[in-house]
Amino acid sequence: MCRHLAYLGPPVTLYDLLYTPPHSLHTQSYAPREQVHGSVNADGFGVGWYAPERAEPVRYRRAMPIWADTSFADVARVVRSSCVVAAVRDATVGFPVDESCAQPFRGDGWLFSHNGAIADYEAVVDALATPVPNGVLDARSPVDSAPLFALAVRLWRDGAELGAALARVTVAAAARSPGRYNLLACDGTALAATACGDTLYARRRHGAVTIASEPVDDAPGWMRVPDGSLVTAKAGDITITPIH
């Protein structure tokens, strides 16, 4: 359920990143090739990107399929960024199709996305959700990703590195409930993601790094991230390590 993607590198238009590739995130919204849980991601989408003139990332979210929002496709042709996180959503059963549930989430300058589902939501909420970080409304969203984001923000605010925090969230959540915990985050200068229960790939190409639930094309260079791994990327370098 859900597909997400992050990019870090030379500035590109959102359109070239999300629509142009033959198996783009736009295409994955209705025809994913490697998605095992669910088959159509029509319950919303979101894109977050960093602009030089803003400290906080810009974000666009809708509670509708990305293919139905032709206005965003037009805007995407002229918006350029060097760091982007985007996701298309297949809602977890029991949670609403609402814009507040569409990811990426945003807080303090971080962007966050969760591809997966939690089997025992109440157990994870009780263990991870509180205290809710002040000023981070997305940590209160009515979706199972929210407690994961709440803990990630608390860890980042306490000084944890981008990827180390995601690994700790994954371990903490998995200790409370079975689930799929593919997490993705960026801070404008680095990317981090976990592979825990679903597919994840990374590629370094032309001075850029892309991390995605599945490849957006059939060009060489995509690396399958082993399940149970953390991938981090900065300045064109990719590091993959086991989650402990």
* Phi/psi at 235 (5° precision): 55, 40
Spot the catalytic one: 2, 83, 186, 196: 2
Give CA angle at 101 (99, 104), nearest 5°: 95
Query: CA 20, 22, 28, 31 torsion: positive or negative?
Result: positive
Give the Cβ contact number of residue 201 at 10 Å.
21
Q: Which of 158, 145, 60, 172 is nearest to 108 (CA)?
A: 158
d(C-alpha 140, C-alpha 157), whole Å:
17
In the annotation, is 101 catalytic?
no
d(C-alpha 182, C-alpha 68), whole Å:
26
**Region label for 221, one of left (φ > 0), alpha (ψ between -120 and 50) or beta (otherwise):** left
d(C-alpha 87, C-alpha 182), whole Å:
12
d(C-alpha 142, C-alpha 96), whole Å:
7
Active site residues: 2
